[in-house]
Amino acid sequence: MVNYIWVPIGVGLLAVLFAAYLAFYVLRRDTGTPGMQKIAKAIFAGATAFLNRQYRTIAMLSVLAAVLVACALAFLGQGSQADKINLAWHTAVAFLVGAFCSGVSGYIGMYVAVQSNSRVASAARRSLGEALVVSLRGGAVSGFLVVALSLLGVSILFLLFGGLAQPGIAPSLIIGFAFGASFVALFAQLGGGIYTKAADVGADLVGKVEASIPEDDPRNPAVIADLVGDNVGDCAGRGADLFESTAAENIGTMVLGVTLFQATGNVGWMLFPLVLGAFGIIASAIGVLYIRASAVVEPDKASGRDPSQIAMNQLNIGYYITCAISVIGVFVGSYLLVGQSNVAANMGIPAWVWYGLAGCVGILMSIAFVFITQYYTAGTWRPVREIAESAITGPATTILSGITIGFECVVMPVLAICIALGVSYFLGSQVHMPVALQQQGIINVSGIFGTAVATVGMLMSCSYILAMDTFGPITDNAGGISEMGGQAESVRDITDALDSVGNTTKALTKGYGLGSAALAAFLLFSAYLDVLYSFKHNPAVYRVDLANITIFIAALIGVTLIFFFCSLAIRAVSTAAKAMIEEVRRQFREQPNIMAEKEEDRVDPDYARCVDISTNGALRAMVLPGAIAVLTPIAVGVILGPQAAAGLLMVGTMGGIVVALFLNNGGGAWDNAKKYIEAGFLRVNVKGQVVDASDPDGIVLGKKSEAHKAGVIGDTVGDPFKDTAGPSLHVLIKLLSTITLVLAPLYYFLHP
């Protein structure tokens, strides 16, 4: 059974080769006209300069964190001094490997994404199908590298740390890998989110509202910084986020599987997430390859076919294919890994079937999150239209309407999470625990493992989802390059359509990322309690009593941390955006020829200065909220003890999920309400009453209208919500779990 460890290693290596093939496919495409190449080079230079500086800072922080964790475990851990040193150096090495793999996957994915944008713009001159395939495959490079390096990192460390000889001990030695991934992801997402929104807010408020020029107008000094921000925030940042999700989920499930392995002797319980992750990569690859240029029906104005709908339909089909193959993979993997275990189950149904069904629950939840997020953020549904209509009466009602939608949109995703956890727990509970576990008093380990399998199932489509996410900034950049490069209207129609689809896929990915974080957080919480049980051998550790004053205090600190962290993140965007606004205004004031009507009289803005402002603002501002997020759970565990840390983890996770849903979907709805107005769908009659978008007699309230300006202001409020604070919370709630897992021996040493 332990030989199955070679499945994720083999598939992981093939996934790296597949990513290389996709990169070759994209990079051999032509880069367009000299004007397009000039803009693409400026974006590439800005993105690589920022990431180089950001990752140097993160690398120094990572080495410092690894040393401090190793020292804490070596001197204050559990067991003999030899055991302490063994755990310390294994954890430190795993931490650094996780941090390195996270950084590499994000950096390479961003590199290919930035190189893809001019190629997509050039492909749009020929056909929608070619542009769609190039942009998706460019995004898929990041998706497959992230999942492959996560899978390879965990699997190889499991082997190197004695997984063949002592499989029951190895998972506890590789927990540091998840901590390292979480650590890098937090700073990468924070820094990238601050950078992109500082540039975006500055470009929108001065360019669109004050100067009344288009979004990607080359006269806007902040336009290059804005395009750079799409890559460092959505490509590198989201890649690090989901790298951390897959790493934490794999290791958390393996830690839970140790208990079942010790009771049954079947190592398949621990290999479950790795083998199913390998099946997920295969399913995602088939989904990506399904989408071909020859299969895309080209739009034409006579037929009335909407190019954005054509592209979205293709991406949806690829996703459904990925999910369908993942369902097969769940049952095949369950049979191979659990089918040989001599474990009884209810109704005479084998254990592997129950766990296969639990995995399907996770897959269905991922689909549910996609539809729920689309409902609240796509312009075709009531929430976005409601915000757009409120813009008619000004910025105040636009902001109030967006906040209302943000609060409302929490309900359905939370219900979906509750149903998924409850159903998967029930399905897992149908498998009878071994008698040895019942005698020890461990509560429903089979049910908790069912929720772990659901998490694995949801993350099986991670490669495809990440491809759709990185598709967003690629197409956004392609639209900017087409406009700044002076391409024909037919080309702009295609890049605008793909950009519209990219806005939707980015929003869907945030919902998917948060849903997987919610399931993974419960899994990691259960794994933490299992670690405490291994120290105390007392079933009482599975009961976190909020009536205990110490635990209540820690729980209150946990939910407060969520709000304070969001405050620091949004304030950082506001501070950097102020500097950006002042710089853009200065350039317009001191260089009036930037806005000269005749093109031959114009002078180029100082793009580099705006890029530098975003870079410096992001790097300075990411340290404080990141440090507070890391130090708070450590302080609670050290001062108040391991059960208090469990209280902080439990309530902080709940608060983080709810607040992140509010920020992500509320911000996304504001963004698409602005785009709904820009597309000319907001119409009123002569009395100022809203009429249907298809009414030919309606008065269009489009670009440069007062409603549009109100929509832009609403969007600037939502920008740091959906692209900085919200996505960073995905990372924070998993970081809380990985920190407590790694430092559990320290907490118990201080509070035995």
Q: Spell out a b/e string for 72-81, using b for 16 or more CB atoms within 10 Å of the CB, else e.
A: bbbebbbeee
Instruction: Write the Ramachandran bin of 698: left for phi over 0, alpha for psi from -120 to 50, otherwise beta.
Output: beta
Average pLDDT over residues 168-186: 89
Q: What are phi and psi of 394, to 5 degrees?
A: 115, 175
In angstroms, the CA 170 to CA 574 distance is 45
pLDDT tens digits along 566-594: 999 999 998 888 988 898 899 988 888 88
Q: What are phi and psi of 349, to 5 degrees?
A: -85, 130
Please state, for a pLDDT cut of 90, what percent of the chain lies above it: 41
Number of domains into which the chain is organized: 1
Give SS3 for 683.
strand
Please state, for a pLDDT cut of 70, what percent of the chain lies above it: 97
| Predicted pLDDT of residue 305 | 67
pLDDT higher at 109 or 505: 505
DSSP string, 122-175: HHTTT-HHHHHHHHHHHHHHHHHHHHHHHHHHHHHHHHHTTTTT-TTTHHHHSH
What is the SS3 string spanning 593-617? HHHCCCHHHCCCCCHHHHHHHHHHH
Average pLDDT over residues 173-179: 91
First to last CA, the chain: 37
In angstroms, the CA 349 to CA 343 distance is 11
218: its two tokens: 């080359």
Let me know if residue 302 belongs to a domain. Answer: no
pLDDT for residue 539 is more than 90 = no
In angstroms, the CA 139 to CA 467 distance is 4
pLDDT higher at 655 or 167: 655
Exposure of 546 in the CB half-sphere (CA atoms within 13 A): 8
Let me know if residue 299 belongs to a domain. Answer: no
pLDDT for residue 511 is more than 80 = yes
Tell me the average pLDDT of the chain. 88
Average pLDDT over residues 109-125: 88
pLDDT for residue 301 is more than 80 = no
| Predicted pLDDT of residue 279 | 97
Average pLDDT over residues 431-435: 74
Is-contact 370 319, C-beta < 8 A? yes
Q: How far is residue 172 CA from its own chain's centroid?
A: 26
In angstroms, the CA 320 to CA 89 distance is 43
pLDDT higher at 719 or 558: 558
pLDDT for residue 299 is more than 80 = no
| Predicted pLDDT of residue 13 | 97
pLDDT tens digits along 596-654: 777 777 788 888 888 888 888 888 888 889 899 999 999 999 999 999 999 999 999 99
Let me know if residue 569 belongs to a domain. Answer: yes
Average pLDDT over residues 335-360: 87
Let me know if residue 592 belongs to a domain. Answer: yes
119: its two tokens: 């190629």
14 contact partners, CB below 8 Å, separation of at least 6: 281
Residue linked to tokens 């100067």: 211
Q: Specify burial of residue 687 (Cβ count, 10 A radius: 0-12, 13-18, 19+).
A: exposed
What is the SS3 string spanning 71-100? HHHHHHCCCCHHHHHHHHHHHHHHHHHHHH
Exposure of 466 in the CB half-sphere (CA atoms within 13 A): 37
Exposure of 548 in the CB half-sphere (CA atoms within 13 A): 15
679: its two tokens: 């597309």
Average pLDDT over residues 482-510: 83
| Predicted pLDDT of residue 417 | 93
pLDDT for residue 302 is more than 60 = no
Closest alpha carbon to 252 in 535, 519, 442, 5: 519
**Length of the chain counted residue by residue:** 752
Average pLDDT over residues 425-454: 78
Average pLDDT over residues 662-681: 88
Average pLDDT over residues 105-125: 86
| Predicted pLDDT of residue 632 | 95
pLDDT tens digits along 446-474: 888 999 999 999 999 999 999 998 898 89
Task: Tell me the residue range of the domain where 401 lies.
Answer: 2-293+308-750
Its pTM stands at 0.91
Closest alpha carbon to 421 in 460, 449, 442: 449
Let me know if residue 29 belongs to a domain. Answer: yes
| Predicted pLDDT of residue 112 | 83
Average pLDDT over residues 15-19: 95
Torsion of CA 377, 381, 386, 389, to 10 degrees: 100
Closest alpha carbon to 14 in 229, 285, 199: 285
Amino acid identity for residue 683 in this structure: R
pLDDT for residue 440 is more than 70 = no
| Predicted pLDDT of residue 439 | 47
Residue linked to tokens 């997920």: 280
DSSP string, 688-704: S-EE-TT-TTSEE--TT
101: its two tokens: 């793999």
In angstroms, the CA 482 to CA 45 distance is 18
In angstroms, the CA 681 to CA 675 distance is 9
| Predicted pLDDT of residue 436 | 59
| Predicted pLDDT of residue 435 | 61
Let me know if residue 394 belongs to a domain. Answer: yes
pLDDT tens digits along 123-172: 999 889 999 999 999 999 989 999 999 999 999 999 999 888 888 888 88
Let me know if residue 298 belongs to a domain. Answer: no
Exposure of 658 in the CB half-sphere (CA atoms within 13 A): 14
Let me know if residue 397 belongs to a domain. Answer: yes
Q: Give CA angle at 186 (180, 189), nearest 5°.
A: 130
| Predicted pLDDT of residue 294 | 81
| Predicted pLDDT of residue 66 | 94
In angstroms, the CA 708 to CA 680 distance is 10
pLDDT for residue 42 is more than 90 = no
Is-contact 223 394, C-beta < 8 A? no
